[in-house]
């Protein structure tokens, strides 16, 4: 819970600063690779914008534009990505596969790997939801919520 509280505190600090016109460049000259097995409009825009606002650069990759389909292993792909970037984000919604594959990437590198949504979790969205609930409602401990997520088998989701 301490990690979540730290993330929420940073979120509050950055949001308050943003609306005061303060945009700390916390990631100057850093590159974040975004590997999309499953495309998304909002995820791509939000991560690219965040990296720009923090002084870094986000690079968009679709899995089909890599050598993964030609037989390159996740291990080799992850190691190559880690040579050129300071962080990797992956979005893979394929049922029964997404979370496992994202964890496999993380096992092969020493840089942060961020789950931008998988078949089991959507952690960045969840943290954003928690932040908004606290911001709008105050203390949410011991309150019950129903959260739904509409999953789509549409390959363009």
Give yes or no for a contact between 31 and 2, defined as CB atoms under 8 angstroms apart: no
Closest CA to 1 of 140, 149, 146, 144: 140
Whole-prediction pTM: 0.88
Domain range enclosing 90: 25-137
Q: What is the pLDDT of residue 69?
A: 82
20 inside domain: no
Q: What distance in Å separates the CA atoms of residue 91 and residue 86, rounded to the nearest whole number?
A: 17
13 inside domain: no
Q: What is the pLDDT of residue 97?
A: 95
**Domains held by the chain: number:** 1
122 inside domain: yes
Q: What is the pLDDT of residue 156?
A: 53
4 inside domain: no
- Residue 50 burial (C-beta neighbours within 10 Å; 0-12, 13-18, 19+): middle
pLDDT tens, residue by residue, 28-80: 999 999 999 999 999 999 999 999 999 999 999 999 999 988 889 999 999 99
The CATH number for 85's domain is 3.40.50.1370
Q: How far is CA 129 from CA 26, 43, 58, 66, 148, in A?
A: 23, 14, 23, 32, 12
9 inside domain: no
């Amino acid at each position: 819970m301490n990690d979540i509280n730290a993330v929420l505190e940073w979120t509050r600090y950055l949001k308050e600063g943003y609306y005061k016109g303060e945009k700390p460049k916390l990631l100057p000259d850093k590159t974040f690779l975004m590997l999309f097995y499953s495309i998304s409009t909002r995820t791509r825009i939000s991560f690219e914008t965040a990296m720009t606002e923090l002084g870094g650069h986000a690079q968009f990759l679709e899995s089909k534009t890599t050598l993964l389909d030609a037989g390159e292993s996740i291990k080799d792909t992850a190691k190559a990505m880690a040579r050129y970037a300071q962080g990797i984000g992956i979005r893979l919604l394929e049922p029964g596969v997404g979370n496992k594959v994202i964890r496999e990437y993380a096992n092969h590198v020493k840089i942060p790997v961020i789950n931008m949504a998988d078949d089991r979790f959507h952690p960045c969205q969840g943290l954003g939801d928690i932040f908004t609930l606290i911001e709008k409602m105050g203390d949410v401990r011991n309150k019950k919520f129903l959260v739904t997520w509409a999953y789509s088998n549409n390959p363009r989701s």
